[in-house]
Amino acid sequence: MQSPIYSSGHDPEKRGASFYDAPQILDRYLTHRHSGVSSPNHVMEEPALLDELGPVAGLRVLDLGCGDAATGQALLEAGCLSYLGLDGSAVMVEAGRARLRGTSGRVDLMDIEDFSAPPSSFDLILARLAFHYLEDLNPILEACHAVLSPRGRIVFTVVHPVLTSYDPGMEVKRTHWIVNDYFVNGPRERGWLGGTVTWFHRTVEDYVAAMLNAGFTLTALRECAPDPDRFDGDEAELARRRRVPLFLLLAGGVHPHLRPLN
Ligand SMILES: C[S@@+](CC[C@H](N)C(=O)[O-])C[C@H]1O[C@@H](n2cnc3c(N)ncnc32)[C@H](O)[C@@H]1O
C-alpha cells in the first residue's frame, strides 16, 4: 500500500503508550485481552464493535492504537483492501508486526496525536480502547475526519465514563463501583495490570460533542451490553457483566446525508 505522509516522528516519552512498554505489562495485557469468556473485550466490546464495523471487504483501514494488531488480522482475513495499524508502544508494535507477518498489513510505531495523512487516504478508521489515553480528543478526531474518503467512517471504543470516573476509594476487594466527580474531566490514575495507568476521563456528552465538532455525523452510540452468546453458558459471569458498563462505542461518518442517530 502507499505510505501516508506523517507530520512528525514518534516521541517515546509521550503519554499512554509508554505504560505498555513497562516490564511484564504486555504479557499481562495480552493475557487479559485474549482470555475468552473472562475477557470483557470478548464478551462486551467486540460484539458491538463488529456489529458497527459491518462488512470491511475492499476498505482501506487505519487502526489507531492498534496494540498487537489482532483486529488487523481479523480485518485482513475479512478482505479489507489494506490495513495500517499505528501504536506508540514499541513492544506492542513488535507484537503487531509478528502477528501480521506474511500479510499485506502494516504496523508503524507512532504517537497517534502526531498522525496526519493526505485527504481520502482511508475508508474506515477504528480505534479500540485508545482514545481515553488522550488528553484532548478534538485534534485526533479532526485529523481522522480530514483523511477519510467522502463515504468514510470512524468507529471507536473507550473505557466507559462510568469507569474512568470510578473512585477506587478505600476498597480492598471491589464489590461495587463508586462514581465520583463525574463532571470533572481530566487525568485519573488507576492501578491496572500491576502498574499505574493514566486514563483521561470525559463525560458521554463530551465524547458526542467532540465527534460533532470534528464534523462527523453520529451514527451509533453503544454501551456494549454483554452478548449472552459469548458466555459459553456461564450465567454467573453474564450476570456479573450486566452490573456495570465498561465500554462506550461511538461511530460516525463523514457524509452529511448519513442517517444520524435519533
Ligand atoms: C488498551 S490497548 C488496546 C490495543 C488494541 N486496540 C486492542 O484492542 O487490543 C491501548 C493501546 O493504545 C496505545 N496508545 C495509547 N496512547 C497512545 C498514543 N498516544 N499513541 C499511540 N498509541 C497509543 C497503547 O500503546 C496500547 O497499545
Cell output for 251: 461511530
pLDDT band at 10 (very low <50, low <70, confident <90, very high): very low
Residue 257 CA, ligand 1 centroid: distance in Å: 32
Counting Cβ atoms within 10 Å, is residue 186 exposed (0-12), middle (13-18) or buried (19+)? exposed
Residue 167 CA, ligand 1 centroid: distance in Å: 23
Signed CA dihedral, 107, 113, 118, 119: sign only: positive
pLDDT in tens, 30-50: 888 888 898 999 999 999 999
Asked if 154 and 251 count as a contact pair (C-beta separation under 8 A), the reply is: yes
C-alpha 258: how far from chain center: 23
Atom of ligand 1 lying closest to residue 133 CA: 16
Sorted by where each starts, the structural domains of the chain and their CATH numbers stand as 17-160+202-253 (3.40.50.150)
Residue with the smallest CA separation from ligand 1 atom 13 is 65
pLDDT in tens, 170-219: 555 667 788 889 999 999 988 888 888 899 999 999 999 999 999 999 99
70-84, 160-174, 218-232: which range is least confident on average?
160-174
Cell output for 141: 478526531
Separation CA 64–CA 72 (nearest Å): 11
Residue 39 CA, ligand 1 centroid: distance in Å: 17
Predicted local distance difference test score (pLDDT) of residue 103: 98
Tell me which amino acid residue 200 is: F
Residue 148, helix vs strand vs coil:
strand
* End-to-end CA, the chain: 37
The pick from 49, 92, 109 for probing ligand 1's pocket by mutation, whose C-beta has the most ligand atoms within 8 angstroms, reads 92
List all residues whose CB is within 6 A of at least one atom of ligand 1.
Answer: 15-17, 20, 33, 65-67, 70, 87-89, 92, 111-113, 128-130, 133-134
